[in-house]
Amino acid sequence: MSKEKIAICPEFYDIMPPEYRDLVEQSTYGKEDRGWKDIGQSKELIEEHSLCAGCPESIAFRYILASLPNPEDTVMVGSTGCTSLVFPHVAVHNIHSLFGNQNAIASGLKRALSVRFPNRIKDVVVLAGDGATVDIGLDMTLQAWFRQEKFTTICFDNELYANTGGQESGLMQKGFVAKMAPVGKKFEKVNLPEIARESGCCYVVMCTVSKPNLVEKVIKNAIILAREVGPTYLQIYTPCILEIGKDSMEGLQEMRDSERPGERFKYKEYITDEAKKYLAELEASKKEALVAP
Ligand SMILES: Cc1ncc(C[n+]2csc(CCOP(=O)(O)OP(=O)(O)O)c2C)c(N)n1
Ligand code: SF4
Ligand SMILES: [Mg+2]
């Protein structure tokens, strides 16, 4: 579990792309306490991106990648949408699945990795948009949770289909008018965190990315719990600034406004007793290891 995994064979060092050499020299792979604070000083596993300038998905990606507890043994599964634009620039193994199939792919992958590497921790993390998670992929999302597949599902909720120009999604708020949904949403935003809880997820969080330390905490909790306890689900508000008519500097304020008390992205967390106990035991054993001679 270290940089050895990405080390370059000395004979090829000078012909490798500078980005790769940079990754080998500056990545936080193998660092025990890696987290969002590494961003800016070390390689945060993302070079560039082709998202719109100021798109909150980009900073969400940076926080998530910087917080993965085990990046060298993590496989991310993406789906079509704006989220998928980032994956080609990410220094973590990833699979692009057919739109909506991400949780089915992740189920097979996690099972195969457990058989192939029984003594090694292998994390699988799905990251897809709301259209992929809640609309077209809902069946796959729910069935993975029903079967208690041990991986984390992250939904970047921007409340519409951004990549195809702004169609209505199940997570869109009631009454919202989008470029390709001119009539306005007639139904309430689907309460997916509650559905996730009912469907067997042991840890469910809904939040924005306005607070990087919070994002780091929930990412680490979700991935660690998914290894041993059961499926975990994070729904993260990453507003599509283009579709809601904000400029590139306004994404952060939009997230802050939407997480106020009574607003639809007010922090929400659900954790089972078993998951709580698991995290508490882990914390206690870390403290014990620190004081041990
Ligand atoms: C099987 C399939 N159906 C439909 C599409 C068209 N399509 C591409 S992206 C997209 C919407 C993505 O919305 P969402 O999952 O919310 O991601 P966002 O772009 O908002 O990040 C759709 C319908 C496709 N590429 N493949
Ligand atoms: S269309 Fe919206 S979600 Fe997609 S990259 Fe642009 S701002 Fe981000
Ligand atoms: Mg979307």
With respect to residue 11, please indicate whether it lies within any of the assigned structural domains.
no
The tens digit of pLDDT for each residue in 245-276 reads 999 999 999 999 999 999 999 999 999 999 99
Domain count for the chain, please give it: 1
Residue 24 lies in a domain: no
**CA 280 / ligand 2 centre spacing (Å):** 38
* C-alpha atoms less than 13 angstroms from C-alpha of 36 in its C-beta half-sphere: 18
> 163-175, pLDDT tens digit by residue?
999 999 999 999 9
pLDDT at 243 over 60: yes
- Among the bound ligands, the one closest to the CA of 56: 2
What average pLDDT does the segment 102-106 reach? 98
Cα gap 271→63, rounded to integer Å: 22
Residue at 28 is within a domain: no
CATH (domain of 210): 3.40.50.970
Q: Which residues surround ligand 3, an ion (CB under 5 A)?
A: 129-130, 158, 162
Nearest to 76 by CA among 45, 34, 47: 45
- Among protein residues, the one whose CA lies closest to atom 1 of ligand 2: 162
Answer yes or no: is the C-beta of 164 below 6 A from any ligand 1 atom. Answer: yes
Greatest CA separation found in the chain?
Answer: 67
Q: How confident is the model at residue 2 (pLDDT cuts 50, 70, 90)?
A: low
Q: Is 58 in the pocket of ligand 2 (CB under 6 A)?
A: no
Mean of per-residue pLDDT scores for the chain = 94
Report yes or no on 17 lying in a domain. no
**7 within a domain of the structure (yes/no):** no
| Domain-located, residue 224 | yes
* Domain extent for 225: 35-291
